[in-house]
Amino acid sequence: MRYAPINPADLNFIEGHYGRIPHPPCIPGHEGAGEVSAIGSAVESLSVGDLVIPMLGAGCWTQEMTAAEQFFARLPTHIDPVQASMLRINPPTASLLLSEYESLEEGDWIMQNAANSGVGRALIQIAAKRGIKTLNFVRRAELGDELIALGATAVFTDDDEGHEKARALLGDTPCRLAANAVGAESAIRLMDLLATGGTMVTYGAMSRRSLKVPNKFLIFKNLSLQGLWVTKWFEKAGHSGMAELLQPLAEMMNEKELLIQVQEIVPLSDFQRAIELASKDSRSGKIILDLASA
């Protein structure tokens, strides 16, 4: 193993607040990237030296890992290994948000909160490549230019003022899909902007506050509320489904069309500082563990 990001899901897993409870002793880390150092005689899809990402769903904060070949996805030769370490969770989540819930066509809109998050940035870039417009909400107004440069159509602050500006921009144009990573009042604002019969997909809960849905959104707007946990999706998809989802994303990353912001790469030996950095609300990008520098 070479690199592994520290994601909110990793911190939740350590704290015991994730969808799966850890049973110590266990190794955290839901994603990473490494090079194949040895293979068994029956292995057909991998070779020594291949850059791969583990698809195990845990145990990536380690220097060495052994698993059956179907639990590794081989990546293009020249892809940046740091970027590759972030390929398993955020980009697939963004891609599934765009394709699994509403039939979006070129020129259609999707809205999201936490637009500067890893998933949010990936969604902006993937949507732009597909010609889908993105309405993005962030807590800090200074992030606007940066997200516009990534391909965002519009960026507003995630408050009442930003909500009204977004409403004015949409006018009579329907937006049928919203991606929610925050919950609480932020999610309510998304539902208020959604078109009748639209869908809000929740994939995160950054506010750590429960979502209390006003009855009017269910009765009069007939909104559909769904959830996405990419780990579960991978388990059901199987090896072929995973490959079909990951291949175009890996190609985008290899061509520098899909980039995830990195704040700092920290040696594994300094993991406590890395976790402290990753726990801060105001970061400029991902904190990456350098697993080869112990």
Q: Which residues are catalytic?
A: 18
- Cβ density class 1-38: b for 16+ within 10 Å, e for less: bbbbbbbbbbebbeeeebeeeeeeeeebbbbbbbebee
Q: Compute the distance between CA of residue 260 and CA of residue 84 in angstroms, rounded to an integer.
A: 10
Containing H/E element for 4?
strand 3-5
From the centroid of its chain, how far is CA 17?
A: 18
Inter-residue contact 197 to 223 (CB < 8 Å): yes
The pairing of strands 154-157 and 109-112 is unpaired
From the centroid of its chain, how far is CA 71?
A: 20
Closest CA to 29 of 288, 282, 293, 292: 288
CA atoms within 13 A on the CB side of 84: 28
Q: Compute the distance between CA of residue 43 and CA of residue 265 in angstroms, rounded to an integer.
A: 32
Q: Is 51 helix (H, G, I), strand (E, B) or coil?
A: strand
In degrees and rounded to multiples of 5, residue 109 shows phi and psi of -110, 150
The pairing of strands 286-290 and 262-267 is parallel
Q: Compute the distance between CA of residue 122 and CA of residue 99 in angstroms, rounded to an integer.
A: 14
